[in-house]
Chain A
Amino acid sequence: MSDAALDIDRPDEEVEDISYLRAGHSLGSWFLTTDHKRIAILYLVSITFFFLIGGVAAALIRLDLLTPAGDLMTNEGYNRAFSLHGIIMVWFFLIPSIPNTIGNFIIPLMIGARDLAFPRLNLLSWYIYIVAGFITLAVVLGGGVDTGWTFYTPLSTMYANGMVVATVVAVFISGFSTILTGINFIVTIHKLRAPGMTWSRLPLFIWSHYAVSIIFVLATPVLAITLILVAAERLFGIGVFDPALGGDPLLFQHLFWFYSHPAVYIMVLPAMGVISELITSAAHKRIFGYWFVAIASIAIAVIGFLVWGHHMFVSGQSIYASAFFSFLSIAVAVPSAIKVYNWTATLYKGDIMIDAPLLFAMGFIGLFVAGGLTGLMLAMLAIDVHVHDTYFVVAHFHYIMVGGTVTAFFGALHYWWPKITGRLYNETLARIAAVVILVGFNLTFFPQFMLGYEGMPRRYHVYPPEFQLLQVFSSAGAALLAVGYAMPTFYLLWSLRRGPRAPANPWGATGLEWTTSSPPPKHNFTQQPVVVRGPYYYPLEHPASRANA
């Protein structure tokens, strides 16, 4: 191909092929950087920190649940532990996890751009996140909140005695970080694609990030408004949710879930994009049904906005509305199912390379299917009456958010680690970690399906002794899961010092990010890439190209 023809000479700027990691070592070169790759690293470090804090809260919860008496924490302390766990995990780990680390790093590389469209906005987004994070930490130190991550009224507005307003402000602020990221991604994908990178040649990782950016921009403001209303009612007695003041508590649930159901897709769509890349790379095949997978992302983003009422089936919502929301919830499962079928079909007759990223991807698929199918059960009106607000729901969303998204996050980290750091990690340890995580996860959360089905309500730490066996299984699983999550921290950090240097394309994958050096130069490519064919063009299916592959 005639890549060289487009080699752009910039006489005023020497060609930068020094790696982005070596371009500057001062603190300022990190904290004032506008390089999307360095900002991704800043995010990676910060979300790992919050994952740790959220994890400590989870450990406390699981320890307390070992005994039916709930004798580790007070009732109030337990409420605060699970509230902090949920708030930190959702807004300070899961939502920024894949988009702001992997997405931030990889999106410009994948589409052949030098950076995101608004590099300073990108940095601002990180600072906003950090300000929100510090407020959250202040809340933790100041005693926390006991509202749960859902801030339901009238508990949050009238009865809760923790630092509700401060927490709400923290989440409100973090929302702006999310919105800025969404705008940045949308504009980047529209405007900065390399010559020849048409929409039909975009890797699916880009499509899913495009879809998630739409949700970022459209859903997050609703959360912001809702939380401000909670603060306004709590501080100034403005009647929005309190019936005594002419308000309606269910209005809060409508507004909250109008954001938060789309938000669950915020958490899973980027993961789906990761899986499409991991599967094609491991199978050395083009994705089965490219357009179906791409459009499914958009369909999920759109329909996901219309199902929020499934969280309110037993709240006193009109049964007619419930029937409608039940129908739409069943519809939204269709595009997700399409993706699962297409990933598995992609593996068929592939030249499969069973490395850690594939193991994580397979883990994702299995756990996501379990989470998605139980979601369908919950969407059935009659079943939901029985299992609403039980551990069944807790297991359902952990299968998707942790089994699905966190697993995909680890898969992505392993897959792109050589590109990000220029180092190779120990593959054997990585495979072991993938298996430990899978086993630990199921041991932790499968018993929770059973607990919930038998009637164990969520958010209680005192329970009948019959439930103890399953609770102990779950806590044991959590310990194993913690080991699984800790392992990568060690061998990945170790690889930074001792790992062999990574070649540009260790997986033999397609995609522009693999055509530049590992780690990439400061401006990503030494010459402007030109795209001449679609994504996932592997020699397995195109033998003629093997010679120059």
Chain B
Amino acid sequence: MIRLVLVSAALMLLLAVTVVAAHLPLGPAKPWIAYGIAFAKATLILWFFMEMRSEGATARLAMVAAGVWLLMMLTLTAADYLTRSWIGG
């Protein structure tokens, strides 16, 4: 119980960091910092709230597979967005 409260508090803290970071003049690093914070939040949620810390190898594998899946989708979509400007539109 205490652990869950602590984790929630950590999430709230990260949320605050997100908001603050969004308003700081960080230049091109800004989105990457946001991704980093989001990653940290997701990890906390998976590990504690979704109870991956007490799961066996199969469940963890399924979780990783889901992540890889999402990554593939994002990569291929990004392959469009990131290379559009290469030939001038």
Contact = CB atoms under 8 A, between A and B. Distances in A.
Interface of A: 218, 250, 254, 258, 305-306, 308-309, 312, 316-321, 324-325
B32 interface: no
Contacts of A317: 80, 84
A312 B82 CA distance: 16
Given A218-B69, A318-B81, A309 B87 contact: no
A318 B76 contact: no
B54 interface: no
A318 B69 contact: no
Contact of A258 (B73, B79, B83, B87): B73
A317 B86 CA distance: 12
Interface residues of B, number: 13
A142 to B, nearest CB: 35
Contacts of B86: 318, 320
A258 B69 CA distance: 12
B83 A318 contact: yes
Given A306-B72, A318-B86, A254 B77 contact: yes
Contacts of A250: 80
21 contacts: A254-B77, A254-B80, A305-B72, A305-B73, A306-B72, A308-B76, A309-B76, A309-B80, A312-B80, A316-B84, A317-B84, A318-B79, A318-B80, A318-B82, A318-B84, A318-B86, A320-B79, A320-B86, A321-B83, A324-B76, A324-B79
B69 to A, nearest CB: 7
Nearest to B78: A321
A218 B73 CA distance: 12
A250 B80 CA distance: 10
Nearest to B87: A319
Contacts of B76: 306, 308-309, 321, 324-325
Contacts of B73: 258, 305
Contacts of B80: 250, 254, 309, 312, 317-318, 321
A502 B9 CA distance: 68
Contacts of A308: 76
Contacts of B87: 319
A87 B74 CA distance: 27
A309 B80 CA distance: 9
Nearest to B65: A218
Nearest to A222: B73
A316 B79 CA distance: 13
A258 B76 CA distance: 10
Interface in B57-89: 69, 72-73, 76-77, 79-84, 86-87
A325 B77 CA distance: 11
Interface centre among A309, A312, A316, A320 (most CB of B within 10 A): A320
B83 to A, nearest CB: 4
B57 to A, nearest CB: 17
Nearest to A317: B80
Contacts of A258: 73
Contacts of A305: 72-73
A192 B36 CA distance: 43
A209 B9 CA distance: 45
A312 B87 CA distance: 17
Contacts of A321: 76, 79-80, 83
Contacts of A254: 77, 80
Nearest to B73: A258
B42 to A, nearest CB: 17
Nearest to A322: B80
Contacts of A325: 76
A291 to B, nearest CB: 23
A218 B69 CA distance: 9
